[in-house]
Amino acid sequence: MTAIKYRTADVGGFNLFYREAGAPDAPKLLLLHGFPSASHMFRDLIPLLVDRFHMIAPDLPGFGKSDMPGRGCTFDQIAETIDRFTEVVGFERFAIYVFDYGAPTGFRLATRHPERITAIVSQNGNAYEEGLSDGWNPIRAYWMDPSERNRTALRAFLSPETTIWQYTHGVPDTILISPDGYSLDNFYLARPGADEVQLDLFGDYKNNVALYPAFQNYFRTHKPPFLAVWGKNDPFFLPAGAEAFKHDIPGAAVRFFDTGHFALETHAYEIAEAIRDFLPH
């Protein structure tokens, strides 16, 4: 089954758009995107794994073509929606591929339902303080003082120029970066209300950091098969964050690639090969 299907699921009255591919009886893989992207970030990866896995990639609430949540959106709420979504689409036991915002979402699912998670692939999906770069300083300032001034300062992260920079920073040859990804991201960021949701999530990210010890305890206790595939030039999540998984999961595999934050834009084939070598089938 090579066709990718584009569907929408009703999750308690909330519409979640998602991509689905692969044979229904194949091992299941849930793909969770990050900021400021959507499920289209997996457009190159899915065809490379479709013979091996049954894959579903949702647009998180407030992203892509999924419904926009109300003001005050939190990562707890996003994880709760994705948790219920997995039940709606019949994902009972599955591996997770987490990137950026997908990591605190997926790690919440894992800590809540460790029996459901068969393996974890983390692409620049952080769970350790040492993985946070100085690029987080403006957001940290908002955590410490959630004033309107500090909130307004974060709007620079939502500009079209910043989105393009996130895709190109740390990439040795930027002509390899398709404009498709960042152009779609900027289109969706321009949806009415999207800016306020994103600013709310910047503020709430402090609660992800507060959960790092709980995530790490899950890793130590359950030791899921774990693969980190990391763009080593990421301006937000440092290589030390990838290596740190080995503290709690000694058998974790860590692969670095000479690229930036959106590693799939330049290394989809290499990452697919690492997953094929790593995940059971």
What is the tens place of the pLDDT at every residue in 92-104?
A: 999 999 999 999 9
pLDDT per residue as tens digits for the range 44-63: 999 999 999 999 999 999 99
* Residue 125 DSSP symbol: -
Instruction: Compute the mean pLDDT over every residue in the chain, rounded to the nearest whole number.
Output: 97
Of 54, 261, 267, 281, the catalytic one is 261
Residue 2 has a pLDDT of: 67
pLDDT tens string 121-136: 999 999 999 999 999 9
Active site residue 261: yes
**pLDDT (mean) for 203-228:** 98
Domain boundaries, the chain: 5-278
Count the Cβ atoms, other than its own, within 10 Å of residue 24. 9
Sequential DSSP letters for 201-247:
HHHHHHHHHHTHHHHHHHHHHH---EEEEEETT-SSB-HHHHHTHHH
Q: Is pLDDT above 80 for 144?
A: yes
* 160-182 pLDDT, tens digit each: 999 999 999 999 999 999 999 99
pLDDT band at residue 279 under the 50/70/90 scheme: confident
Q: Which CATH number fits domain 5-278: 1.10.645.10, 3.40.50.1820, 1.10.10.10, 3.40.190.10?
A: 3.40.50.1820
Strand partners, 237: 132
* Whole-number Å distance between alpha carbons of 199 and 195: 6
